[in-house]
Structure 1
Amino acid sequence: MSLSPQFLDELRARTLLSALIGRTTKLQRAGREWKTCCPFHNEKTPSFTVNDDKGFYHCFGCSAHGDAIRWLTEQRGLPFMDAVKELAAAAGMDLPALDPRSAERGEWASGLFDVMAAAQTWFAEQLNGIAGSEARAYLNKRGIDAGAIEAFGLGFAPDSRGKLKAALTRFGDSLLIEAGLLISVDEKEPYDRFRGRLMIPIRDPRGRVIAFGGRILGAGEPKYLNSPDTPLFDKGRTLYNLDRSAGPARKAGRLIVVEGYTDAIALAGAGIEEAVAPLGTALTEAQLERLWRLVDVPLLCFDGDSAGQKAAMRAALRALPMLAPGKSLGFVLMPPGKDPDDLVRSGGRGAIEALLDAARPLVDHLWQCEHDAAPLRTPEAKAGLRRRLDDHVATIGDPEVRRHYARAIRERFDETFFARTERAPFRKGAVFKP
């Protein structure tokens, strides 16, 4: 049986490597990693490390290196498929049906990873060259320093239809087109997709470049341009910066969802590294599932404009059917017209931390958004509010969570519209005031 790279990546992502190795080997925490004496050779000083964020182990003594699958095949001697089956069973994953073409696709995907890595290196070189002066000035204006540029792998695509193509000609046009780096229209010569843009690499959970986001520097539309979906990249299942934020999120016990790349980069610059961003789309079910694997209550910190608040409400409604005991969302209320990047630059980390600490629970956000959606001066308008809220609650899949939401909505509605008002006691001769 041949397995697709996507299936194996998902299997690795669902396996906590330290827990797997810890079944047979005693590990000790060492910062963000785990450490122990190497099980593959005799040593007295620990040189074997396990990194859950990156999903691999490594020995600095004998150079043993691998992931969860490699651990089972090397340390326990299991055949490859037996190792995969054991990990899949523990992760609750079904093995895909037999597909003889998967091996061929796997080799093709490996070539695509090489293409994307080479493209990222070339874009970074352009940013540091003469052509990248405008992009460097833009980054400096946004407060993104050299450390952040290197950490996030930022680059620059010159305003040319063929420079990237020429630089990566060794890969061939077909692979560059498949990777989303070239555009091919009818029988015309393929040309560079990204031109005159700041380039932001998008990585998978293992830190491999799978796509790019390009931000226009001058006039032009669209402001942001993402890679198209490719064999490596599915926009609806990918979260920007997940590879760098997973470890800090587990450590901090929180995960922040912002709207854009620069928001995530700005928060990291302020010392808040546990931030991810969807890629120009509303949060999808697959992205919500990824968030909940890391923390129970991700915090949505969308822009304070109308579009940002609408996106937050769409995310709330999409999450309702997926809610489970302990699993929910929090909503951070940004000042009108501001985004996290603006707030960090004007008020520093303290300004954003204050808002994060005051995050609104999903049930509160649902109530407030619907309550403020329209005037409630008539009985019909109030009845309409109640109908909308009840319809939302009805979409919650978990019966226990749905029951608690129904009660919370009922109590708030009654307190708001049917609360008893205290009347002054009757006094003989008093003038009636309606």
Structure 2
Amino acid sequence: MLTPQWLDQLRSRVSLSSLIGRTTRLQKAGREYKACCPFHNEKSPSFTVNDEKGFYHCFGCGAHGDAIRWMTDHQGLAFMDAVKELAVEAGMDVPQPDPQMAKAAEKRDSLHDVMAAAQEWFKASLGGPEGEMARGYLATRGFDAHTVQRFGFGFAPEGRQALKGALSRFPEDMLIEAGLRIAVEERDPYDRFRGRLMLPIEDARGRVIAFGGRILAKTKTDAPKYLNSPDTPLFDKGRTLYNLHRATPAARQSGRMVVVEGYMDVVAMAAAGIAECVAPLGTALTEQQIEMLWRQVETPILCFDGDTAGQRAAMRAITRALPLLRPAHSLRIVRLPEGLDPDDLIKARGPKAMEALLGEARSLVEVLWEAERDAVPLATPEDKAGLKARLMAHVETIQNPDIASLYRRELQDRYSAFAFPKRESKWQPGQPGGGFQNRGGGGQGRGKWNGKPAPAPSSPESISRLNTRYGSGGTRDGLSAAVIAGLIRWPALLVRHAEALARTPDLDPRFELLIEACHAGGPLESARLETILRENGAQPPRSADYSGFRFGFLGADGEPEKSAEELTQAIQLLIERPALEAALQVATERHEREFTDESFAEQQRLRERKLEFDSRLRQMATRHASS
């Protein structure tokens, strides 16, 4: 039976802003949060969430309720389903009439009693004579009395039966089931933790569910440095984050959550004033732990040591997070200086240095790119192709189609910039004489570039490919040919438009040759420009290449002022078209993938822009012919 007292306790255990923030973008507004109401369409926010009072309210439509009401009205769950889901998040047991369920709950409660008793004994041992070495270790770490008390440090004395004697009121099998004792065949059970500094591991309600122990005696070379409790009915290490119950309130204040590699790092960070800090427990960050983090903040920060192990841990976290990514939810990653963990950095450089690093946390996609790029040498084309294959394999794991598409584009752009770096432009504005220098004489009439021989003329095959690509086979090719012919006809205009053309991707290669001639030191003349093209294996445009266009700047009787204006318009169209075509292609691919009203509207908008573009080009190209 669900009593009012139990339901009140459930509501108090759930962060309403974190719950609503999973599907609604909230903004901090004083002691409340605000947003555009998720229950009705509005342009300005009138929806508020108050964690202290435990309710949400919309001043526009009147929607009002608590965490349970949110799950039923917004998420569409039945009342009991909503209660069960919230109870799992809060770490509470739903009262069940089933005798077996009741027995299991009673068993867990009895194990909680065992763990609480063990914690009290560990704390008492730390303060006793046998805890002197542990107290000395804490002093070397710089942890003050408040930190020691807050995190519940204790000490497990030496002796294989010490804990059993201290907790003799509990049956042996309960101590074993709680993970405090180890049972082996044909031998007596013995204490798991001996001669170790102890830290309690607590659940979302602050109850002790497990322990972590750090060895103190240096003579035990074969023993693990850190030892955690095994999985028990109370403790699942893959579903537990150390310090979450303390970090959650701090995260609400700061708006961030920091994940470090170990629980001693958490304590060091908290001692330095960074309280919103958690850690996994001896394993790589799991999918369940990532989801737990996203319930608190949209983009938690993962802080890894700067060594090789830290890099591997970062990549494991990335590969587990990729399939889970959803809009506005991701990870940011900080890599500490090599050889330093959080405690070392804080001691050496102070808390401000750590805050500065956290403020420079990098995006998941950036760290993924750098990790794969630097994973193996990339000396051959095959190596580079392998890099692309690895990147695309990561993209294929992303379940959200929008995010997968954006990651694919981002990583392909980074890969293209790396594998196919843009050649340095030979045209250098502002450096007279620094451009292409055409000099007669030796070299069979070839020019020179900065005193060095210009590239040899292209082979007949390359000339054939160039003419095929930029011949009369398409509107853009014809427009390119017309503009090149116009610049040759009016060479004085070349300098005016050279910089804009140099920034435009995927243009006819003949533009680069013309741009290089801008600052060659000699006068720009039509015949000379034609010679430069021929000497570099290209041909000046023929009238057949742009036969569909009737631009005035191509005519023999064109007026200089009018021709300059018309040529400028043609160049603007030439520059604008690649961006428009690329945007339309992306919109079309998105609509084919999603087939939503939004994607269709975007595709149609760009199609209309392209039709307008073609109409402008057609009107301008035929204006001279009709005049």
- TM class by smaller structure: 0.7 to 0.9
Higher relative contact order (CA 8 A, sep 6+): 1
Q: Secondary structure at the match of 2:321?
A: helix
TM-score w.r.t. structure 1 length? 0.80
Equivalence for 1:225:
227
Question: Percent identity at matched positions?
Answer: 55
Equivalent residues of 1:260, 1:279 under 8 A apart = yes
Equivalent residues of 1:297, 1:330 under 8 A apart = yes
Structure 2 CA distance, aligned partners of 1:336 and 1:433?
47
Equivalence for 1:87:
83
1:5-404 to structure 2, matched below 5 A, reads 15-16=14-15, 84-88=80-84, 100-219=99-218, 220=220, 221-404=223-406
Q: CA 1:96/1:209 → structure 2, altered by over 3 Å: closer, same or farther?
A: closer
Structure 2 CA distance, aligned partners of 1:92 and 1:214?
28
Q: Which amino acid aligns with 1:189?
A: D
Equivalent residues of 2:203, 2:209 under 8 A apart = yes
Structure 2 CA distance, aligned partners of 1:337 and 1:234?
31
Equivalent residues of 1:15, 1:87 under 8 A apart = no
For the pair shown, which has the larger CA radius of gyration, 1 or 2?
2
Structure 1 CA distance, aligned partners of 2:303 and 2:364?
13
Structure 2 CA distance, aligned partners of 1:85 and 1:139?
46
Equivalent residues of 1:123, 1:157 under 8 A apart = yes
Q: CA 1:128/1:101 → structure 2, altered by over 3 Å: closer, same or farther?
A: same
1:188 to partner: Cα distance? 2.7
Equivalent residues of 1:13, 1:205 under 8 A apart = no
Q: CA 1:13/1:256 → structure 2, altered by over 3 Å: closer, same or farther?
A: farther
Structure 1: unaligned runs, 5 residues or longer: 3-7, 21-28, 33-49, 56-67, 70-81
Equivalent residues of 1:258, 1:302 under 8 A apart = yes
Q: Which amino acid aligns with 2:282?
A: G
2:452 is the counterpart of 1:431: yes
Deviations 1:64-98 (A, max 9, x none): xxxx99xxxxxxxxxxxx975452477899x9999
Q: CA 1:204/1:92 → structure 2, altered by over 3 Å: closer, same or farther?
A: closer
Structure 2: unaligned runs, 5 residues or longer: 20-28, 33-49, 55-66, 69-77, 427-434, 440-447, 456-627
Q: CA 1:118/1:387 → structure 2, altered by over 3 Å: closer, same or farther?
A: same
Q: Which amino acid aligns with 2:392?
A: D
Equivalent residues of 2:151, 2:199 under 8 A apart = yes
Q: Which amino acid aligns with 1:294?
A: Q
Q: CA 1:371/1:85 → structure 2, altered by over 3 Å: closer, same or farther?
A: closer
Q: Secondary structure at the match of 1:186?
A: coil
Q: CA 1:19/1:315 → structure 2, altered by over 3 Å: closer, same or farther?
A: closer
Deviations 1:127-152 (A, max 9, x none): 11110110011111011111111000
Structure 2 CA distance, aligned partners of 1:186 and 1:208?
32
Equivalent residues of 2:15, 2:51 under 8 A apart = no
Equivalence for 1:45:
none
Structure 1 CA distance, aligned partners of 2:333 and 2:303?
6
Equivalence for 1:72:
none
Structure 1 CA distance, aligned partners of 2:206 and 2:16?
16
Q: CA 1:310/1:237 → structure 2, altered by over 3 Å: closer, same or farther?
A: same
Deviations 1:349-405 (A, max 9, x none): 101011001001000000000011112121111111111000001100000111110
Equivalent residues of 2:18, 2:297 under 8 A apart = no
1:410-421 to structure 2, matched below 5 A, reads 410-421=412-423
1:410 to partner: Cα distance? 1.2
Give the number of equivalent residue pairs: 377
Q: Which has the higher helix share?
A: 2
1:15 to partner: Cα distance? 3.5
Structure 2 CA distance, aligned partners of 1:86 and 1:419?
54
- Please identify, of 220-229 and 184-193, the stretch whose mean Cα deviation from structure 2 is larger: 184-193
Q: CA 1:195/1:250 → structure 2, altered by over 3 Å: closer, same or farther?
A: same
Q: Secondary structure at the match of 1:171?
A: coil
1:189 to partner: Cα distance? 2.3
Q: Which amino acid aligns with 1:432?
A: P
